[in-house]
Structure 1
């Protein structure tokens, strides 16, 4: 395996980890105004992700940094082509981060309710945009022979990619509801479990529709040798099993299944891409690949040494933080947020 492929795999792992972790994070934020009946319950919901949400977003920064360092041409083309979408996403993420803090600055019910809805909207928007963006990578965008994006913002808003965005929203919301059922107690877990059961069918329908369109709207069938095969269908099967585990009140297994669905969906997109990173809809020969868009071999070698040396420590620290905050919390717990 060459270094180009190694970094493609590493970026796949980083994005998979990001969507798995930030998925329930976004989901909890989207559900905040709907599951919390009063301020104390909404504080409870926020406190389930309070200690970890910023750490989850580090995965996005790391994935973006890895893309910039290993495949700078992809980074340049993506950020110029997806500029408006990425600016909207960054504004949403900045506002979301501020909202967690500003919400507690005033005890006024109207003030707190306003920020609750801000958290909801700024959790929904990145989830939608990530689904649209990832779908565009595999479907193809107008890139010319100079690796330049020559389309506009509305080129990104096609039916396949919009379904991808809605599927991401639905699955993340389900992931978040299951996480709340796993992380809370005192009655909130029952409400979260019931809400997850309601979200399950829309999530299955949208993900199933997306998988079907994935086969039709992309070139994965013709892309011999890198066909994701059964992986996308395994994502749907994992999502189907969520309903069973929710019915058995086994939130841990339900959470694992939503996580598998998210990870396998992400892996499906990258398998369909390889060795490409961005598909050109104008000419397949103009697609950006792990070879024509990569940094120098020396750069990849140095970064590989650094990544292999530091990544275990980062993963260990994050695993430790989740272990520390593993216990269920209730409205009677000490709430920091």
Structure 2
């Protein structure tokens, strides 16, 4: 099999997909967290500032999801088809929530009526919470495994997605995004809203730490295949230990009100948790919980070597450009939010 820098092409695309979805989790994570906290702000000015804190960047952040979905379809079409059929309803709800979040942000400021703005405030908050919960639900089922037979056909039911473990991961994802978003908003606000956010950052950090510890313990007990890689390579235990230390460091940053360092730490923990998931799944992309023959590995799901090679060249050019645009956006709109006539 063709290799690049010592790794075969399917492995490169496995890593690339992980990087793309990690980028989406970090970038859109704080957008979703800010939306989930939106109704905690009572005053109109506070809600406008909170929306304008993410206003210049939220749509660019979603681009990473689009790129990731396109890369999955191109590099591993079997996985794309299997997941879309298995998670059909959750994906449709996810897309619907994405649409409502977008129109809530854009429509809210179009009219002055109080009922109009409150309606879109509720829509914005509920759609953000729904997206975060669905992402966690899909991730939880991917980690635990879904019912695929030996022909890689989904043989489960919709109710099976709402199992206790997946729902725990769903809530943990929401808690991480709320903490991530609260710290981002703290960096973008001042005065009374900043004081309010210091309370929310403290509360969401406790919520996340509880969820993190609970879901970690549940994974060790109920999802033993995720720990198999650490039994084979004990040196990798450094990763979950590092994750725990970073979570504890977030609390330290919060107590010292070093929210920028806390925001960086929550970004790192998002990345590190997805790395742990990838290590537990590799070389599989989809794990079957009813038959080992149902697992879908990166090798049987990959496109042809020629296709992977050509797409990898485009990815090497395109992804850095997208990253530069993201950096440019954040640099351009850095600093505290100031409302003006062009604000949402």
With the length of structure 2 as denominator, give the TM-score of the two structures: 0.94
Query: Quick check: 1:43–1:335 contact (8 Å CA) kept in 2?
Result: no
> Any conservation in 1 of the 2:228–2:280 contact (CA below 8 Å)?
no
Tell me what 2:117 maps to.
Answer: 112
Matches of 2:115 and 2:298, distance apart in 1: 51
Equivalent residue of 1:292, what SS?
A: helix
* Corresponding residue number in structure 2 for 1:147: 152
The Cα shift of 1:335 comes to 5.4
| Helix, strand or coil at the partner of 1:148 | coil
Question: d(CA) in 2 for partners of 1:197 and 1:311?
Answer: 35
> Match for 2:250 among 242, 257, 262?
242
**Unaligned stretches of 5+ residues in structure 1:** none
1:26 aligns with 2:37: no
Q: 1:239 deviation in Å?
A: 2.1
Q: Report the RMSD for the aligned CA atoms in angstroms.
A: 1.5
Match of 2:237 in 1: 229
Unpaired runs of 5+ residues, structure 2, are 1-6
C-alpha separation in 1, matches of 2:170 and 2:96: 18
Q: Does 1:262 align with 2:266?
A: no
* Partner-residue secondary structure (3-state), 2:207: helix
What is the aligned partner in structure 1 of residue 57 from structure 2?
52
How many pairs were matched up? 335
Moved more, 219-228 or 51-60: 219-228
Give 1:1-337 correspondences, 5 Å limit: 1-35=7-41, 37-218=42-223, 219-223=225-229, 225=232, 229-330=237-338, 336-337=343-344
Contact map agreement 2:188 2:335 (CA 8 A) in 1: yes
Report the CA distance between 1:229 and its aligned residue.
Answer: 2.8
Instruction: Tell me if the contact between 1:226 and 1:271 (Cα under 8 Å) persists in the aligned partners.
Output: no
Q: SS at 1:145's partner residue? A: coil
Contact 1:24 1:179 in 2 (8 A): yes
CA contact (8 A) 2:38 2:125 kept: yes
TM-score (norm 1): 0.96
Q: Is the 8 A contact 2:226 2:277 kept in 1?
A: no
Are the counterparts in 1 of residues 149 and 293 from structure 2 also a CA contact under 8 Å?
Answer: no
Partner of 1:291, secondary structure, is helix
CA contact (8 A) 1:220 1:226 kept: no
Q: CA deviation at 1:221?
A: 2.6
Contact 2:108/2:116, CA 8 A, preserved across alignment: yes
